[in-house]
Amino acid sequence: MTELSQLQRKIIELKEEKNALLLAHNYQVNEIQVIADFLGDSLELCRRAQGVEDRELIVFCGVDFMAETASVLNPDKKVVLPSASARCPMAAMLPVGVLREAKEAHPDAAVVLYVNTLAEAKAEADVVCTSANAAEIIAQLEEDTVLFGPDRNLAWYAAHRNPGKRVIPVPAHGHCNVHRLFGDGSEALKLKAKAELLVHPECEPEFQMRADLVLSTGGMYRRARDSDVETFIVATEVGLVERMRRDFPGKTFIPAMKYAECPAMKRITLENTYEALLREEPVVKVPEEIAERARVPIERMLTFKV
């Protein structure tokens, strides 16, 4: 690991002093990734945040819905998000009113929501999923019709792998702004040569069909770790590319688009992470009446065999 800066060392010292847990998503900047207690994708972070009994404080270097999930799973812990403006635009695309209208229109459908949703929407779901397990969870449901939100491309991915199910995206055009940048993958294919193309399921269906593998960020990481392939083109947020370059220096990782950055994720910095630890704010606290209902589909997700 490269030498740590003075501010990174101060964060580590303060974290230990306050018995805090520092969680970071794969899309965080490298400087935060290397000092996190745990670094992973949404599913891995959900599992790590479940029942954190050995820490007093959780500092979540991610975006709003992730900190909310940690709060739901740990109602007795203080959860802070270093920047209150780190809000996921996709999560905001599914307000609870839109979801309730869809449920009224399809009363017999199961409701499967991507973890990239706000707690008030999760409270209306039957089960939550991530990009790593969406298709597998839908396959195990008894219902033939599924309302899925908010990412339409992940809905397509899950439906494509479950031809016996009717998967209805809610809203019809929910999407991730970063993964939408890749379009149909024409630019990435120009880089391909002897490389293996890894594509996130939030990308457009046309691009998914051109991929060697369609994987969550955790799945991409494990593929890079376990495969004999030496060169990969990675079609997701560039923070994951930084992590894989650091962890697997003998391999080559090419971003499918070098400027594919999530502005919300990048609002988390070393400076505001230190301030969050020091001041223990801004606090993310889901009201208990919502948290109690949202906890059910989140915990149900963690019981599925995937």
Q: Would 6-87+265-287 and 90-177+291-301 be classified into the same CATH topology?
A: yes
Q: Are strands 57-61 and 20-25 parallel, antiparallel or unpaired?
A: parallel
Q: What pLDDT digit, counting tens, does each position of 273-283 carry?
A: 999 999 999 99
**Average pLDDT of span 182-192:** 91
pLDDT at 302: 85
Average pLDDT over residues 252-279: 96
**Length of the chain as a residue count:** 306
The reported pLDDT for the residue numbered 3 is 84
pLDDT score recorded for residue 192: 82
Domain parsing of the chain, residue ranges: 6-87+265-287, 90-177+291-301, 182-255
Pairing of strands 196-199, 231-235: parallel
193 pLDDT band (50/70/90 cuts)? confident
**Residue 306 pLDDT:** 67
Amino acid at 155: A
The neighbouring-strand residues paired with 254 are 233
What's the mean pLDDT in 9-17?
96
The whole-number average pLDDT for the span 53-80 is: 93
The whole-number pLDDT of residue 240 equals 97
Any idea of the CA torsion for 200, 66, 119, 88, to the nearest 10 degrees? -60
Residue 1 has pLDDT above 70, yes or no: no
Torsion of CA 144, 150, 199, 252, to 10 degrees: -140
Give backbone dihedrals phi and psi of 194, rounded to 5 degrees, phi first: -100, 10
Domain covering 6-87+265-287, topology: Rossmann fold (3.40.50)
Mean pLDDT of 23-44: 94
Superfamily of domain 90-177+291-301: NadA-like (3.40.50.10800)
- Look at the pTM and tell me if it is higher than 0.85: yes
